[in-house]
A and B are shown apart, each in its own frame.
Chain A
Amino acid sequence: MDELSFDEWQKTVPEWMKSDPHPTPYPSPTSQLTRVNMQRIATKLKLYWPLTKSLQTGLLLSTGLAGFMSARCPVMHWYDFLGLGVSLFLAIAGSTIINMWYDRDIDAKMQRTCNRPLASGKVTPKEALRLGLVFSVLGVGLAVAMSPLYGLVVFAGLFFDVIVYTVWLKRRTAWAIVWGGISGGMPILAGRVFGLGRVDGVGILLALAVLFWIPTHILTFSMRYHEDYRAAQIPTFPSAYGFHATRATIAVSSVLAALSIAGAGFLIGMEWGYLRLLAVLSGGLLVLAVASVFRPTERVNFGLFKYASMYMLGAMLLISLSAI
């Protein structure tokens, strides 16, 4: 390590240390430098974390783990579970970061997203792209190493999300969300494929459940931030077909999502108790979706958006718990 002059060292000392009422009489420059480096790393991590959209990534990760659990493997090794979690996290977070890198111009125009690290200039585009690519390559690479078929499904999810949805269709058509939904269904299919070693009907049904759930989640969101999307000139269902048609679409897709999850749960062999609870949670989703059509208010719309996330997490927990 290069020797620092006193002046150079002083520049590296953060403000709070300079105002310390009890300073160390002779702080070692090396230890101070380590501390500063640690702070830099912590600051970077704080900036990088929002790039992964942790809640969305966490929700998709939970679907992948639930898909694996639903396969009811006769032997479940902790390293398989850990490998699945790490590879899915890296692939999902990687594709999310690349999406955010590609959409940074849109984010800068929207009030809701203009403070994101890339849009606000806290992270450089080059840095974000590098991070996204590293995450994606590591995630898909680990997945392929674990099982080629599983790796293929993980790669398909990443490809549909980044190339088909974000780069190709998002700025052209409101129907892009179908592809967003297909990519959203890939983690649960991947988990199931990793557990079984093949693609089966239940896996497809679980992926369809996520595909049909996506409009409930995304379209309520695009209604809430309708003006933002319009400012960024992104075609959405509300701007293309109006709010009423969008609400009707949400209601229909909620019914299909609930039926798909219930069907998959039944075919997986979930016990009646778990199916009863799944039916109750689905009932709540349907009531809110119908209420949003016949009594549309901002509150119902927001409630449906939040409930849809809770519903998906709850359904995934039930699928996982029922397999234990």
Chain B
Amino acid sequence: MKITILDRILLLVMCHAAGYQIIRGVDGLDSLPMLAYTIGFGVLLVAGLLLIILGFDVLDSPIVVIVSTIIPLSLSLGLVWEHLAAYRTLYLVFVIVGFLAILLTRLLPLRNKLPVIVLAVVHGIAGLTIFLLPILWSLTGRAAPGFALVGVGGALIGVGGLLLSFLKAGRPLLSRAAIFKVLPGLLLLMTAAFVAGFALA
């Protein structure tokens, strides 16, 4: 499906929002969560630029599954490091092991369901962390109400991830054309929610 001018504009705005977040950073953080957020938003930014340049066909590459894992893993690591000090090491181990597991199961010629299970578990835990943690923290008063927007971003990234994963698995929830039609807007909304959430936290 050909990428339209509107899609390109939406993606360009998304890239600017991600770039702004990388420049601005998050106040008062030590280096690891800052690095994690930078990697998360950086992958979003570069992915947006590649979509603008190469169009939606770039999503057919097998590397997309591996690269798209980096975004939820790095963002959730930043959140856990910042707000769940007791689980820092445990979650860091999960992120490293999870990423390596996805990498290996995608690169090795496995014919069973292991790659899909690994992908679902790692994406699921990371996605739920980004979705639930900010909302719970906002509801319980441990963070400003605006921080819940990060959770909204997490929900949107989950929706995007599900749509693309099922499409690549051959069981699309929506048609390919419909997914690509909503994807740029979804990516922009997601990034805007993250940026606003971090700014209001």
Contact = CB atoms under 8 A, between A and B. Distances in A.
A310 B38 CA distance: 19
A284 B46 contact: yes
Given A273-B22, A274-B23, A299-B57, A280 B50 contact: no
Contact of A280 (B24, B46, B54): B46
Contacts of B25: 272-273, 276
A303 interface: yes
A54 B23 CA distance: 30
A302 B54 CA distance: 8
Interface in B1-57: 19, 22-25, 38, 41-42, 45-46, 49-50, 53-54, 57
A306 interface: yes
B53 A277 contact: no
A303 B51 CA distance: 10
A277 B23 contact: yes
Contact of B38 (A274, A276, A299, A306): A276
Nearest to B44: A280
Nearest to A297: B61
Interface string A303-321: 1001100100000000000
Nearest to A271: B23
Specify the main secondary structure of chain B where it touches its partner: helix
A305 to B, nearest CB: 9
A283 interface: yes
A276 B33 CA distance: 13
Contacts of B54: 299, 302-303
Given A299-B57, A306-B53, A287 B23 contact: no
A284 B49 CA distance: 9
A273 B50 contact: no
Interface in A16-60: none
Contacts of A272: 25
A223 to B, nearest CB: 16
A281 B50 CA distance: 12
A277 B46 contact: no
B174 to A, nearest CB: 25
Nearest to A273: B23
Contacts of A302: 53-54
A307 B23 contact: no
Contacts of A283: 42, 46
A81 B104 CA distance: 54
A280 B22 contact: yes
B49 A310 contact: yes
B23 A303 contact: no
B143 to A, nearest CB: 22
Interface in A266-299: 271-274, 276-277, 279-281, 283-284, 287, 299
Given A271-B23, A280-B22, A280-B38, 14 more contacts: A273-B22, A273-B24, A276-B38, A277-B23, A280-B41, A280-B45, A281-B45, A281-B46, A284-B50, A287-B46, A299-B54, A299-B58, A303-B58, A306-B53
12 contacts: A271-B23, A273-B24, A274-B23, A284-B42, A284-B50, A299-B54, A299-B58, A302-B54, A303-B54, A303-B58, A307-B49, A307-B53
Interface of B: 19, 22-25, 38, 41-42, 45-46, 49-50, 53-54, 57-58
Interface of A: 271-274, 276-277, 279-281, 283-284, 287, 299, 302-303, 306-307, 310
- Give the 3 A-B CB pairs with smallest separation, nearest first: A280-B42, A273-B23, A284-B46
